[in-house]
Amino acid sequence: MAGPSKEAQLLRELHASSERFQMLFESSSDLVCLVELPPPHGSGRILDANPTTCRWTGYSRAQLLQMQIKDLLPAERLLKLPGRLEKLLKRGHIKFEMRLLTRQGSQIPLLAHARLLPSADTPQVLLVAQRGEAPAGGLTAAGPEQAMYECDFSTGTIAWSGATDTVLGVSNHELESFDQQAWQDQIHPEDRERVQASRRQAAVDVSKYHVEYRLRHPDGQFRPVEDFGIILPAENGTASRALGAIRDASHKREDEARRRQEQQQQEKTGRLESLGVLSSGIAHDFNNILVGIIGLTDLSLRELPQDSEVHADLREALQAAHRAKELVEQILTFTRHAEEARAPLYLHLIVREALKLLRASLPSTISIIERVDVQSGTVHASASQMHQLVMNYCANAAQALSSAGGTIEVRVDDVEVDHDYAAQHPKLHAGPYVRLSVIDSGHGMSEEIQAHIFEPFFTTREPGKGTGMGLPLVHGIVSDHGGAVVVESKPGLGAAFYTYLPRIHSAVAPQSPAPPEQAHGTERVLFVDDEETVRLFARKALPRLGYEVTTSKSGAEALSLFQNQPGRYDLLITDQIMPSMTGDKLAKAVHHLRPELPILLFTGLTEKIKEDFLAEAGIVEVLMKPVVMHELGEAMRRALDRPKSAQLR
C-alpha cells in the first residue's frame, strides 16, 4: 500500500507546527502580541493577543482586537515609537524596555523583544515581553520560566527543553532518566490521579489539556505548577504525541492573592461608602428626634426652680442629649474624613462625663474603677472625639469580659516620655503627654490578633455581634491628634490600652457659661416640618419668645397657606427633607411671591449645602437640628433684623 503523499506529509507537519505554536502562544507566561506594523507603514492594529496579555492589561481579547498598540502605551512612550520602528525595519528585530498601560490606568514595566514578520500584505510584528526593569548592566534576554516537553506515546520517550532546572528541579544531565514514571513519582500523591485522568481524557479526545498540580523538587518541597498540553494525532486519528509546557504557578497564586486583596479592599471601600450614606440618613432622622428631646427638655428646665432635684436630673439629661448630638456629628466626621473644631481641654473631665453614661449602660457584673488625676494637664483636641475615644475603649473592654463580669479600670495621668521609650514606639516623641489607660480583666489577646485589631472590619466576635470599626476609629482619632496607642495583652490575662496624647502647657479652664440673654420678637412665623415632635417644639418655644406661629406638616400645605395670605407672614422656617415638596422648592416658590421675606432652613440634613443654591431659594441662613430655644431665637432675630439688601450669611 502506497505511503502518504508528500503533500499530505507536509500538511500534517504544518498542522503540527501550527498546533505547537498555538499551544506555546496560549500557555506562555509572557505577554505575546501580534501587531500590524504601526504608522506610517500600517495601522498598528492588534491582530492577536494571548491570555497573559489580557490578564496584565485588564482587557478581554475581543477588546484588544479593536485597539491599536498605541492605546497600550503611555503618552511619553509614544514619542519613542518612531525611532524604535526605524530600527526594527533596519534590523528585523530589536530588544527594548517599555511600559504597558493597563485598563485601570496603571503602568507595568516590561522587557520586550519585537521581531518583524514578512507578510503578503502589511508586515506584522511579533511582540514578546516579560515583566521587569532592565538590570543596571543593560537589557538582557531571559528565557521563559517553562519546561517544554514532547512525549512519544509509541516509544514512551520524553524530549525535554527549556527551564527544566528551575521548574522541575532537574538538571540537564538528569533529564535522560527523567521519564514518565519519574515524572509521575514527583507529582503530589493527592494530585496524581487527577493529573493522569486529565491526560487520559485528552488522549481519548485528541484535544488540549490544562491541569494544575504540585510537583516535588529535590529539596523535598512541593511547588505549584501549571501543565499545558495538546495531543497530536497519528495518521489513523488516534493519539500519537503530547506536546506541552510546565511552568511555575507561584506567580499565578500571588496574582490571585493580590486580586483577592484588591477585591477585599474594594469591598471594604464600598462598605465604608455605604456606611457614609447610611449614617447620613440615620443622622437626619436622629437629629429630628433630638429636636424634641433637647428642645422640650430645655423648655421644661425654664419652668423649674434651679435648685430642685428634677431640674438637676433634667440638666443631666440635656447634657447627655447634647453629647448624643455630638456623637452623631462625629460618626459623620469619620465617614467623610472631615475636620472638626478643636480646643484646649482637660481630658479627665471628658473621661468622668463618659464614665457617668457608661455606668448606666453596662451590666451590674462589670465594675468600673476610676483613677483620674484631676491635676493632669490639657490636650488640644475635639471634645466629642475624646468622648468617643473613651466610650469605644470601654465598650471594647466590656465585650472582652465574660458573662460573669469583671473590671474595667480607667486612668488619666501626666507622663514624660523619655528617648528610650520613644525609640521603642516610633509614633511617640520624647516629651510631655497626657496618658489615658483602659485596662480590663478579660480574656486577653494573642500577638496574632493584636496585629490586626486596628484594621477596619476586623473582629473576633460572632457575625452580627460587632462591626470591627470601634478600635480602627479609636486609632484614627489618636493618630489624627498626634498621639499613639500602646497595647499590652496576653491570652487569659486581660488587655491594657495606653493612649498618649501630646500635653500642652496652657488651657482655658472650663466654666459654666452664663445664661444667654434670650432674643424675643413679635413677628408672625410660618413653621414647616413633617415631624410632629419638631412642630410641637415650635408651638411651645416660639410663643414664649413672643412670636405668633403657624405650623404646617408639608411643603404643599405651607405653600397653599402662603398663597392665600402672602402678606401675613414675616418669616418662613422650613425643613428640607419632606414628602412631595422639599424645603428648597417651597423656599423658591415663596421667594418668587415675596423676594424680601427672610427664610430659614431648619434641617437635620447633614450634607453641606452650596451657598448659590441657598441664595437662589432666598434662604438667608441654615440652622442645623437639634437646637435649644435661645439658639433658635437668635437665628430668627438675625434673619428678621438683617438689612433687606444684605447677602446670604
Partner residues linked to 242 by β-bridges: 151, 231
| Residue with cell string 500577638 | 447
627 and 543 assigned to the same domain = yes
Domain-terminating residue out of 253, 279, 302? 253
463 and 494 assigned to the same domain = yes
Beta strands in 267-387 (DSSP E): 343-346, 366-372, 378-381
Q: What is the mean pLDDT of residues 196-223?
A: 88
- Which percentage of the chain shows pLDDT scores above 70? 78
Q: What is the mean pLDDT of residues 201-206?
A: 88
Name the grid cell of 174.
538528569
91 and 51 assigned to the same domain = yes
- Which percentage of the chain shows pLDDT scores above 90? 21
Q: What is the tally of structural domains in the chain?
A: 4
Alpha-helical runs (H) found in 58-152: 61-64, 75-78, 81-91
Q: Is residue 270 part of a domain?
A: no
H-run or E-run covering 622? strand 619-624
Q: Is residue 52 part of a domain?
A: yes
Q: Is residue 312 part of a domain?
A: no
| Ranges 48-62, 365-379, 458-472, 550-564: which has the least confidence | 458-472
Query: Looking at the predicted structure, is the pLDDT value of residue 465 above 80?
Result: no
**Are the C-beta atoms of residues 578 and 528 closer than 8 Å to each other?**
yes
Host domain of residue 115:
30-131
User: How far is 438 from 458, CA to CA, in rounded Å?
Assistant: 20
Give the pLDDT score at 609.
66
CATH code for the domain in which residue 390 is found:
3.30.565.10
Beta strands in 28-184 (DSSP E): 31-36, 46-49, 93-101, 107-117, 124-131, 146-152, 158-162
469 and 504 assigned to the same domain = yes
Q: Is residue 242 part of a domain?
A: yes
Q: Is residue 22 part of a domain?
A: no
Q: Is residue 299 part of a domain?
A: no
Predicted confidence (pLDDT) per residue in 263-292, tens digit: 666 665 555 555 555 555 566 667 777 777
Give the pLDDT score at 134.
42
- Asked, as a colleague might, if the bond just before 40 is cis with ω within 30 of 0, I would say yes
Q: What is the mean pLDDT of residues 596-621?
A: 81
Predicted confidence (pLDDT) per residue in 136-154, tens digit: 333 333 334 678 888 888 8
Q: Which residue has the higher pLDDT, 451 or 18?
A: 451
122 and 158 assigned to the same domain = no
Q: What is the mean pLDDT of residues 383-394?
A: 86
Give the pLDDT score at 142.
37
Q: Is residue 474 part of a domain?
A: yes
Partner residues linked to 411 by β-bridges: 371, 437
**Are the C-beta atoms of residues 490 and 509 closer than 8 Å to each other?**
no
- φ, ψ of residue 632 to 5 degrees: the values are -65, -40
Question: Which 8-state DSSP code applies to residue 303?
Answer: H
Partner residues linked to 147 by β-bridges: 162, 246
Give the pLDDT score at 432.
94
Q: Which residue has the higher pLDDT, 241 or 328?
A: 241
Domain-terminating residue out of 253, 284, 303? 253
Give the pLDDT score at 140.
35
Question: Average pLDDT of the chain?
Answer: 79
124 and 151 assigned to the same domain = no
Give this prediction's pTM. 0.39
43 and 111 assigned to the same domain = yes
H-run or E-run covering 434? strand 431-440
524-528 and 571-574 as β-strands: parallel, antiparallel, unpaired? Answer: parallel
479 and 615 assigned to the same domain = no
HEC-encoded secondary structure of 502-523: ECECCCCCCCCCCCCCCCCCCC
Predicted confidence (pLDDT) per residue in 182-192, tens digit: 888 899 999 99
473 and 540 assigned to the same domain = no
247 and 215 assigned to the same domain = yes
User: How far is 343 from 337, CA to CA, in rounded Å?
Assistant: 19
Query: Per mean pLDDT, which of 9-13, 157-161, 243-247, 617-621 is the most reliable?
Result: 617-621
User: How far is 357 from 354, CA to CA, in rounded Å?
Assistant: 5
Domain-terminating residue out of 238, 253, 268? 253
632 and 486 assigned to the same domain = no
Predicted confidence (pLDDT) per residue in 342-369, tens digit: 889 999 988 988 888 787 778 888 899 9
Give the pLDDT score at 569.
95
Beta strands in 102-248 (DSSP E): 107-117, 124-131, 146-152, 158-162, 208-216, 222-233, 239-248
103 and 169 assigned to the same domain = no
Name the grid cell of 569.
407672614
Predicted confidence band of residue 126 (pLDDT cuts 50, 70, 90)? confident
Give the pLDDT score at 508.
47
CATH code for the domain in which residue 124 is found:
3.30.450.20
Give the pLDDT score at 141.
36
| Residue with cell string 413653621 | 527
Predicted confidence band of residue 463 (pLDDT cuts 50, 70, 90)? very low
CA atoms within 13 A on the CB side of 39: 5
**Spatial CB neighbours of 533, under 8 Å, sequence gap ≥ 6:** 288, 289, 291, 292
- What's at 637, amino acid-wise? R
CA distances, 284 to each of 329, 390, 611 (Å):
11, 25, 20
CA proximity to 19, closest of 205, 233, 236: 233
Q: What is the mean pLDDT of residues 122-127?
A: 84
Give the pLDDT score at 135.
40
Quickly count: other Cβ atoms within 10 Å of residue 450's Cβ: 15
First to last CA, the chain: 104
Q: Which residue has the higher pLDDT, 322 or 623?
A: 623
CATH code for the domain in which residue 622 is found:
3.40.50.2300
Give the pLDDT score at 274.
56
Q: Is residue 450 part of a domain?
A: yes
